[in-house]
Amino acid sequence: MSPETAKSLETKNRLLEGALRTLTEQGIAKTSARTVAAAAGVNQALVFYHFGSVDELLAAACRYGAEQAVARYRARLAAVTSLSELLAVGRAIHEEERAGGHVALLGQLLAGAQTHAALGPATAGGLQLWIDEIEQVLIRVLAATPFGEFTDPAGLARAVAAAFVGIELYEGVDATGAASALDALEQLGVLVAALEELGPVAQRAVRHHLRRTARR
């Protein structure tokens, strides 16, 4: 990589980080070429040079932020061996993301998507990265349970992601209620874990019952 290319990449990354920091700290309404450039420590003309517009910068920052976040947790998700463990890991990730200000960032991106055309697809794309990771975990862990042949991992992954997004946003207005929702998900995980620990005969009975129910 030439020095010029390396410098250009460094500037783009500084702008991406600056955009994410500005969204988190000042909100979508105060995010502009000037505020992002100030956060990045560069001339605001570089926003347009590298990204063409503020909206395109924000869309790129959304994708960049999601990629960085998913990469942080990929190994942890890959080590999950049960549905109850997935819920526990999801709660731990939620706490870490909230502490890092990323829950506030998600709220700003979702709000901005209503008025910034480029942010809608970018935010959806960022969420899809999470969904893809969760789906791989579900495919792996459901295969060892009586539910494996009766569930849609792709749809369930979207439901899990949507549930956590909703809880994250809900937490801003009712932290106690959000905590109760997370507790309820963990209780569901305990019930699923109990089924996972059934012996072979009991698991066959569960599968038989599910097949009969599915045929109705």
Calculate the average pLDDT of the chain: 83
Integer Cα distance of 43 and 109 in angstroms:
24
Tens-digit pLDDT profile for residues 1-20: 787 777 888 999 999 999 99
Mean pLDDT of 184-192: 74
Radius of gyration over alpha carbons of the chain, in Å?
A: 21
| Residues near 111 by beta carbon (within 8 Å), at least 6 away in sequence | 28
- CA dihedral sign of residues 82, 83, 88, 93: positive
Q: How many Å apart are CA 138 and CA 149, to the nearest integer?
A: 12
The token pair that represents 150 in the structure block: 């009766």
At 41-86, the pLDDT tens digits run: 999 999 999 999 999 999 999 899 999 999 999 999 999 988 888 8
Helices marked H in 27-171 — which ranges?
A: 33-40, 45-51, 54-78, 83-99, 102-112, 119-142, 153-171
Average pLDDT over residues 142-171: 80
pLDDT at residue 181 tops 80: yes
Give the pLDDT band of residue 211 (cuts 50, 70, 90).
Answer: low
Element (H or E) spanning 53, and its range?
Answer: none
What span, in angstroms and rounded, lies between the C-alpha atoms of 18 and 152? 39
Band (pLDDT 50/70/90 cuts) for residue 207 is low
Distance CA 113, CA 166 (A): 16
Name the more confident of 21 and 184. Answer: 21
The DSSP letter of residue 194 is: H
The pLDDT, as a whole number, for residue 91 is: 84
Token pair, residue 77, equals 């998700």
pLDDT digits (tens, 9 = 90+) for 75-112: 999 999 888 888 888 888 888 888 877 777 887 888 88
